[in-house]
Copies of this chain bind each other. A is one copy, B any other.
């Protein structure tokens, strides 16, 4: 049987296996779900073993585990390919906005709904079942393959740098393909030439040592919730420019060539607004939306917490107010320097009568740009053009995958994003879904990729 026929015949089973994997609530950000992350890792390891992958191991890190497995019997001179993905997922809140519970996946109209269905459980199953098809129909693979799947991508892979360092030889590869990537749309492939970096932190403003009666005490002391708002408001102008002093100092300006390349990619603002539900596309002045999304740094408040959040009113001056913040960074900004700038900024602008702390949170990554003329990227381009019948756009992504930097720095190989998810699939939001058509097409692409690399 040919691998294409095998993939067609077994597709329903593959979808069922993906559903089983999505059912595991492997939320890496929540300590109480650590066992679920481990369970998802065990599930993946078991699947790898079942298709003939060797040396499969669930390997501990200081945090969530890693799953490794390989098949290294290709003819002498064949390249060794690493395939990367992750089996952890984002938290599912706000739960009330899900049409169906996030960990009870179901298919509607050819779309598989569930937290992680797209990012990245669906994505990582694509190369696994592609390899299964080759192994089942030919008993071998065209190249040496190493699978490297992790369980902490959604918290920015804090324990991966030492892990990759310590397992440098085991992980060594000639090329790295990441199954945590996106295509432009259901019909159009893309080559992702850049990812943003990220730095994560929280600002905690305190005043009184307990909540105070706003009538009896409030007028005499500073209010931490108002103080936090005042501090945050100094970080970004209402028109969208970040106003933390020095924030843009290390940003490499967009060249005219860069801007033309971005302008060649079709972008429909009306669709973008319909997908987000936002009333307008706004952001840093002087740049198009696509330039902002791909090539300009941002500062976002991800969450606010203070005082009374229940029904009605509680007449207090809260003791504490805090904000979670992430900045998306572009070359050549450094997460450490941006953190320092924000910490210094908070100290400078904090109103009298309050105290503030700025704490690092897990989640840091350098920005990443793929060099032009990169070998693995060229192979990926050929396969994508064959599978989609179109030349891929050269794009960037506003998201961050810190482990990509780790792989580049430690293994000396520039990873290629080779994933079949799409930006409209509500990753990180309620009602996340994955297109089953892309699941199937990605499998063909991965088989063709491995075949193309054979000596």
Chain A 396-438 per-residue mask, 1 if CB under 8 angstroms from chain B, else 0: 0111100000000000000000000001001111110000000
Bitwise interface map of A from 218 to 234 toward B, beta carbon under 8 Å scored 1, else 0: 11111101111110111
| A270-304 interface bits toward B, Cβ cutoff 8 Å, 1 = contact, 0 = none | 00100111111111100001001100101111111
Question: Does A4 touch B at the CB level, under 8 Å?
Answer: no
**A321 in the interface, Cβ–Cβ < 8 Å?**
yes
CB distance from A34 to the nearest CB of B (A): 11
In the complex, the chain B residue whose C-beta lies closest to that of A354 is B279
A370 to B: closest C-beta gap in Å:
17
Interface core residue of A220, A236, A308, A328 (most chain B CB under 10 Å):
A220
B293 A214 Cβ-Cβ under 8 A: no
Q: Is the CB of A298 within 8 A of B219?
A: yes
Knowing A208-B278, A220-B293, A399-B213, the reply to whether A313 touches B309 (Cβ < 8 A) is no
Q: Does A94 contact B (CB under 8 A)?
A: yes
Q: Which residues of B contact A216 (CB under 8 A)?
A: 293, 397-399, 423, 427
Return chain B residues, CB-CB under 8 Å to A208: 276-278
Which residue from chain B places its CB closest to the CB of A119 in the assembled complex? B213
Give the nearest-CB partner of A353 in chain B. B282
- A31 CA to B431 CA in the complex, in Å? 30
Q: Are B309 and A315 in contact (CB under 8 A)?
A: no
Contact of A226 among B232, B293, B315, B316 (CB under 8 A): B232
A215 contacts chain B at the CB level, 8 A cutoff: yes
From known contacts A208-B278, A313-B29, A315-B428, infer whether A238 and B308 are also in contact, taking CB-CB under 8 Å: no
- Whether the Cβ atoms of B328 and A223 lie closer than 8 Å is no
A101 to chain B, nearest CB (A): 16
Would you call B311 and A29 a contact (CB within 8 A)?
yes
Chain A, interface size category, equals 35 or more
**Identical copies in the complex:** 2
Q: How far is the CB of A20 from chain B (nearest CB, A)?
A: 25
Cβ-defined partner of A313 (8 Å) among B304, B319, B363: B363
Q: Are A279 and B351 in contact (CB under 8 A)?
A: no
Of all chain B residues, the one with the shortest Cβ separation from A273 is B221
A40 interfacial contact with B, CB 8 Å: no
| In the complex with contacts A229-B233, A238-B230, A293-B219 CB distance below 8 A | yes
Residues in B neighbouring A398, C-beta threshold 8 A: 215-219
Q: What is the distance, in angstroms, from A236's C-beta to the closest C-beta of chain B?
A: 6
Q: Which of A94, A221, A281 has the most CB of B within 10 A?
A: A221
Is A80's beta carbon under 8 Å from chain B?
no
A91 at interface by CB-CB < 8 Å: yes
The 8 Å CB contact of A305, one of B238, B305, B349, is B305
Residue of B nearest to A312 (CB): B29
* Cross-chain contact of A400 among B31, B215, B363, B423 (Cβ < 8 A): B215
Pairwise interchain contact B313-A428, C-beta atoms closer than 8 A: no
Please list the residues of chain A having a beta carbon within 8 angstroms of any beta carbon in chain B.
29-31, 90-91, 93-94, 97, 155-156, 196, 198, 200, 207-223, 225-230, 232-236, 238-240, 272, 275-284, 289, 292-293, 296, 298-319, 321, 323-324, 326, 328, 349, 351-355, 361-363, 397-400, 423, 426-431
Which 9 pairs show the lowest CB-CB distances between chains A and B? A209-B277, A215-B399, A233-B233, A303-B307, A282-B353, A229-B232, A225-B301, A303-B308, A304-B306
